[in-house]
Amino acid sequence: MILSLRTAAPVPLARLDRQPGGAGKSRYLCLGLSRTGRRGERLLCLGGPRDAHRRVGLQLRNAAGRVVRRSTLAVRLKRPQATKLVLAVDPAAAGLAPHRYRWRLVENRRGCTAPRCAETLPGRGSRLFRLRPVRPVGCTGGEAGEAFNGPRDRNVVALTFDDGPSEYTEAFLDALQAKHAHGTFFELGQEMPGRETTMRRILREGDEIGDHTVNHVEFPGYFQIAGAAARIRSSTHFQPCVFRPPGGAVNSSVVATAGGLGMQTILWDVDPADWSDPGSGAVYSRVVSAVRPGSIVLMHDGGGDRSGTLAALPRIVDALRARGYRFATVSELLGHRMLYRPYG
């Protein structure tokens, strides 16, 4: 579920209380959701001194407005403009099943407890919407061309994984999910049969699938590139937007072929050579020492023993995050966005 909010002035997220209503004064900005035909409301409250871009407060309130449960919820919150916030929420994690809901925004900028301090949008009542299950079907972008990295003026990094899906891929997804990070998986058509569930999980959790040919052929032709894309679509209903040539072997024909199929050719600027199994310590140090703003990091989740890369991954995320980096899919890093359609 994607929520876009425009404000009259920039919202200072660190000053907001993600669990308002306790003892003392609260400043808050919350989205209230109530399912039609049921009493009570769920509040998703932005802010907090830490992790404001990755977590929101979740409150369940009964019909009398009393809080009956408090928790936090993993989300993705972006600020594409100073006065615009875009919140991505997994409805299932928030306890929201497909149905009709009423929504309202509740704001308290003054930090006082009197009823007049809170303002709502709309000013009275609420508005109705229908929550429908959707799935990613593609993304914007996908034009012909090469990219070795994203913009250098933002502390954003794309972690990428080649040669899957494999018996390791689920564990890589577990590691990314535990760290609230996202990555891009460049997959081989020959490895896809029997692993369709894993592929759908990649997309469901906000990660991205890219084309890596059918048989890991260098300087691939049309059928190698198109064949892998067709298998991705067949397994997931997702049209890949990015293509990575095996071994980085690329020429103008490869770039043009991928572009003709709606995919940008993606290379990298950080390569820890994890394919050679140098050990988790080497993978970690090589990545952390080489990353710059906008880097695309090449790693592998398939094609051999990937336990070393898997062991290094949580430490890589922690170290880069401590240096102020965020993690995005390749398409997001390059300024594109995912496209979704309802099931059916």
Active site residues: 162, 300
Long-range contacts formed by 167-174: CB under 8 A, 24+ apart: 168/301, 168/302, 168/306, 168/307, 168/310, 169/195, 169/198, 169/202, 169/301, 169/302, 170/198, 170/201, 171/310, 172/301, 172/306, 172/310, 172/313, 173/198, 173/201, 173/202, 173/205, 173/207
Note the residue count of the chain: 344
Residue 62 and residue 77: Cα distance in Å, rounded?
27
DSSP per residue, 164-183 = ES-TTHHHHHHHHHHTT--E
Give which of 65, 122, 119, 126 is closest to 100, Cα–Cα. 126
Instruction: From 286, 303, 241, select the one nearest 266 (Cα to Cα).
Output: 241
Contact 32, 43 (CB under 8 A): yes
Contact yes or no for 192/231 (Cβ under 8 A): yes
Scan for tokens 């460049």, then name that residue. 186
Fill in the amino acid letter for 253.
S
Residue type, 25: K
Integer Rg of the chain from CA: 22
Burial 233-264 (b: 16+ CB within 10 A, else e): eebbebbbbbbbbbeeebeeebbebbbebbbb
Whether residue 192 contacts residue 338, with contact meaning beta carbons closer than 8 Å, is answered with no
Nearest-10 Cα torsion for 221, 224, 226, 232: -160
Torsion angle, alpha carbons of 134, 138, 141, 142, to 10? 170
